[in-house]
Amino acid sequence: MTAADRAGLSAMADRAGLSAGADRAGLSAGADGAGLSAGADGAGLSAGADGAGLSAGAAAAVAPLLRLDGVSKSYGTMTAVAPVDLSVAAGEFCAILGPSGCGKSTLLRIVAGLVAPSTGRIRIAGEDVTQLGAERRPTNMVFQSYGLFPHMTVAQNVGFGLSLRRLPPAEISARVAEALALVQLDGFGARMIDRLSGGQQQRVALARALILRPKVLLLDEPLSALDLKLRHQMQEEIRRIHAETGGTFLFVTHDQGEAFALASRVVVMNGGRIEQQGTPEEVYRRPATRFVAGFVGEASYLSGRRSGGVVALGAGPRFAAPGPDAGVTAMIRPERLRIAPGGLPARVADVQFLGPTTLVLARLPGGEVLRAALGDPQPGLSAGDEVRLAWDPSDVWVLDD
Amino acid sequence: MTERVGRAWLLLGPALAVLAALFALPAILLFAVSFWEVRSFRLSPALSLAAWAGIWRDYAGLAAYTVGIGLAVSALTTMLGLAFALAVRFAVRQGDRLMIAVLITLFGGYLVKIYAWKSILGADGLLNQALIALGLTGAPLQALIYSRGAVIVALVHFLLPFAILPLYAGLRNVSDTAIEAARDLGASRAAILWRVVLPQVRGGLFAAIAFTFLLAAGDYVTPMLLGGPGGTMLGQFVLLEFSTNFDWPAGAALSYALLGSCLAVLAVLAAVVFGAGRQP
């Protein structure tokens, strides 16, 4: 099945989005998940198999700046990265998202040249760099633990790459000042590294990597050592720096919120493979696999069966959703559920006030649990109450089991 | 606060008492003795510079030679130790086991090592037997033992762990990420060594140089047993002045002269190690 077929299919599925009249629960067909999950099954998605998303066309239009073909890494019998194809366009901010041990950091280190791949080729701006070591690649990395040089000042750290290239001292200090200004550390040049806070060290690491104007900037969980507030602040900083420099950023993280906030494209990895790639919205709303659905956010899962293009959920609702006859799971994000008179009846099991939303866990008569994040305050709602939960047809996503 | 100070003194006290009684006091006494006089085999307190003048006249050349041997041994040992410590830290998988092996060699007695070299380098020693068996020489080489070379070889062997241990301790503190970052920024292996690794182990490097230099320059047993007439060092004459010559003032002055020259050399070395490569 080609991308075009899938695009057609999902469009068809959208058109078929009609209320399943009988139960009046406001259910309707989601788009078809079958095509996407089939594509994600194999050795990972290539650029062409980007799904029906908006980014696919944009990424395919220009030759990719960074291209990985069949890149894998095994240590003995242990496979860290299964053969992966990945393309990143110039100027793109791409996040590799996955749980720890999924191979995302190894993949980044392969791009950096710090780890030699077992198979495959890496091309940057058309040039095959597979055989080049890290010191000769047009990439620079911001490390998770920064890797700053403790025996040097801030300015010496930032200027290290330039001084290796034997640039005149005047030019080095001018460019160091420029790089420090970019990360808002003007005037910190003479400080020693151990006199800086964690956030400031992070900025030095960024400046030190950016000063060489890498073709691809690699960021390996750079914010994970920072506290929450500082992390949000640095996320904004990194977005601003990406916009100001117009560079190509490849960012590795295990935090889906961080990936969504920063990246224009998210690549979800699991067990050494790419499960899905697309815009944050695609990955969130139309996950290719149950793993992706669960990793990028919370959801309610209702099991059912599809026959003849109609899905019948165990909980009752039926709706049209083209695809092969098989067991399916319908996924609904918590914030898409609402309390409405025509909804499915369920009994409240727990109510948690989370600040912006109130999370309501409600059990359906069949035993399945709906997770509803309700925006409006829910005074008086407590465990044991009966509620009716409804959702829009377009908010259901069907995953083949 | 006072309780904490009290506890600190309680912890420091015993060791300080031992050091004061068995090192500081004798050292001060020895310094005083260097100004005393010996008349008809009787040591008597005085304020005389005769011993100092005498050793300057008799031993200046030998002192320079002794410091030279110390520097040569220190340079050789530190370089070999640095290569070993770098390999253990960066190139070998089971590095810690190698370090345990290094520690074990420290337990082997000092004299045992000297006698081992005697049996290797001697006229009918292992090396000569091997050379004769291989047909490389007809008669045993007499110059192997009782020479400057034999002293240097034995001292390097004995002192190697004293160089490896502080260097390795320093190298363990160099972060792998900093090295990867340097590589990522374009540094060659040589640049990583000179600009990232070595500047971070200045302390360990100086400790290695200082240990090996002081122990080599102050040694008198190795030159006595392996040096022969051409390989004598100043320490042997300290012994000679105290024992055979019964000239304690000369022996004391000679000890302090050797100590003073060694500390002066160390001061220069410290300036080099801690000053080199620092950017303004």
B224-239 tens-digit pLDDT: 999 888 888 999 999 9
Q: CB of B138 within 8 Å of any CB in chain A?
A: no
Burial profile B235-274: b = 16 or more Cβ within 10 angstroms, e = fewer: bbbbebbbeeeebbbbbbbbbbbbbebbeebbeebeeebe
Look up residue A35 and give its amino acid: G
Which member of B177, B187, B199 has the closest CB to residue A164?
B187
Q: In this structure, what token pair is assigned to residue A234?
A: 């640095």
Segment A149-176 mean pLDDT: 95
H or E element, residue A59 = helix A54-61
Residue-level pLDDT at A230: 86
Radius of gyration of chain A, Cα coordinates, nearest whole angstrom: 24
Name the DSSP class of A225.
T
State yes or no: pLDDT of B120 exceeds 80.
Answer: yes
Q: Chain A contacts of B200, Cβ < 8 Å?
A: 149-151
**B1 pLDDT tier (thresholds 50, 70, 90):** low
CA A128 – CA A85 distance, rounded (Å): 15
Segment B174-203 mean pLDDT: 95
SS3 of chain B: CHHHHHHHHHHHHHHHHHHHHHHHHHHHHHHHHCCCEEECCEEECCCCCHHHHHHHHHHHHHHHHHHHHHHHHHHHHHHHHHHHHHHHHHHCCCHHHHHHHHHHHHHCCHHHHHHHHHHHHCCCCHHHHHHHHCCCCCCCCCCCCCCHHHHHHHHHHHHHHHHHHHHHHHHHCCCHHHHHHHHHCCCCHHHHHHHHHHHHHHHHHHHHHHHHHHHHHCCCHHHHHHHCHHHCCHHHHHHHHHCCCCCHHHHHHHHHHHHHHHHHHHHHHHHHHHHCCCCC
Q: In this structure, what token pair is assigned to residue A116?
A: 């030699």
* CB neighbours of residue B65 within 10 Å: 16
CA A148 to chain centre: 28
Residue-level pLDDT at B276: 74
B31-47 tens-digit pLDDT: 999 999 988 878 888 88
Look up residue B45 and give its amino acid: P
Q: Chain A contacts of B178, Cβ < 8 Å?
A: 147-150
Residue A111: closest CA among A102, A123, A103: A123
Q: Chain B contacts of A140, Cβ < 8 Å?
A: 184-185
Q: What is the mean pLDDT of chain B?
A: 90
> Nearest 5 degrees, angle CA A65-CA A67-CA A70?
180
- Number of inter-chain CB pairs under 8 A, A vs B: 66
Tell me if A161 and B185 make a contact (CB, 8 A cut-off). Answer: yes
Q: Residues for chain A: how many in total?
A: 401
Query: Is beta strand A338-353 parallel, antiparallel or unpaired with respect to A386-390?
Result: antiparallel
CA A127 – CA A120 distance, rounded (Å): 14
Tell me if B180 and A135 make a contact (CB, 8 A cut-off). Answer: no
Residue linked to tokens 């100070």: B5
Higher pLDDT, A72 or A230: A72
Residue A193: closest CA among A232, A146, A230: A146
**B168 pLDDT tier (thresholds 50, 70, 90):** very high
Q: In this structure, what token pair is assigned to residue A363?
A: 């059990």
Q: In this structure, what token pair is assigned to residue B32?
A: 């005083």
CA A377 – CA A24 distance, rounded (Å): 26
Residue linked to tokens 């490389």: B136
**A393 pLDDT tier (thresholds 50, 70, 90):** confident
The interface predicted TM-score of the complex, written ipTM, equals 0.81
Task: Tell me the pTM.
Answer: 0.80
Look up residue B57 and give its amino acid: R
CA A329 – CA A284 distance, rounded (Å): 16
Percent of chain A whose predicted confidence (pLDDT) is above 70:
85
Segment B183-209 mean pLDDT: 95
Spatial strand order of the sheet with A369-374 comes to A369-374, A358-363, A338-353, A386-390
CA A244 – CA A282 distance, rounded (Å): 26
**A62 pLDDT tier (thresholds 50, 70, 90):** low
Residue-level pLDDT at A71: 96
Segment A383-399 mean pLDDT: 91
CA A116 to chain centre: 25
- 3-class DSSP assignment, residue A9: helix
- Find residue A124's DSSP bridge partners: A66, A127
State yes or no: pLDDT of A39 exceeds 80.
Answer: no
H or E element, residue A239 = helix A228-245
- Among A237-241, A326-330, B122-126, where is mean pLDDT lowest? B122-126
**A18 pLDDT tier (thresholds 50, 70, 90):** very low
Higher pLDDT, A27 or B10: B10
Tell me if B183 and A165 make a contact (CB, 8 A cut-off). Answer: no
Q: Residues for chain B: how many in total?
A: 280
State yes or no: pLDDT of A6 exceeds 50.
Answer: no
CA A346 – CA A300 distance, rounded (Å): 13
**B206 pLDDT tier (thresholds 50, 70, 90):** very high
**B4 pLDDT tier (thresholds 50, 70, 90):** confident
Segment A231-251 mean pLDDT: 91
- Among A43-47, A233-237, B149-153, B243-247, where is mean pLDDT lowest? A43-47
Look up residue A198 and give its amino acid: G
Q: CB of B177 within 8 Å of any CB in chain A?
A: yes
Residue-level pLDDT at B229: 83
Q: How near does any CA of chain B get to the CA of A213, in Å?
A: 11
Q: CB of B178 within 8 Å of any CB in chain A?
A: yes
Q: CB of B276 within 8 Å of any CB in chain A?
A: no
Residue-level pLDDT at A299: 94
Q: What is the dihedral of CA B229, B231, B234, B239, to 10 degrees?
A: -50
**A394 pLDDT tier (thresholds 50, 70, 90):** confident
Residue-level pLDDT at B141: 83
Query: Is beta strand A93-97 parallel, antiparallel or unpaired with respect to A265-270?
Result: parallel
Backbone angles phi, psi at B234, to 5 degrees: -60, -35
Residue-level pLDDT at A277: 94
Q: In this structure, what token pair is assigned to residue A182?
A: 């970019």
CB A13 within 8 A of CB A322: yes
Tell me if B177 and A146 make a contact (CB, 8 A cut-off). Answer: yes
Q: CB of B171 within 8 Å of any CB in chain A?
A: no
A269-311 tens-digit pLDDT: 999 999 999 999 999 999 999 999 999 999 999 999 999 889 9
Look up residue A116 and give its amino acid: A
State yes or no: pLDDT of B9 exceeds 60.
Answer: yes
Query: Is beta strand A248-253 parallel, antiparallel or unpaired with respect to A93-97?
Result: parallel
Q: What is the mean pLDDT of chain A?
A: 84
B40-89 tens-digit pLDDT: 878 888 888 888 998 889 898 999 999 999 999 999 999 999 999 999 99
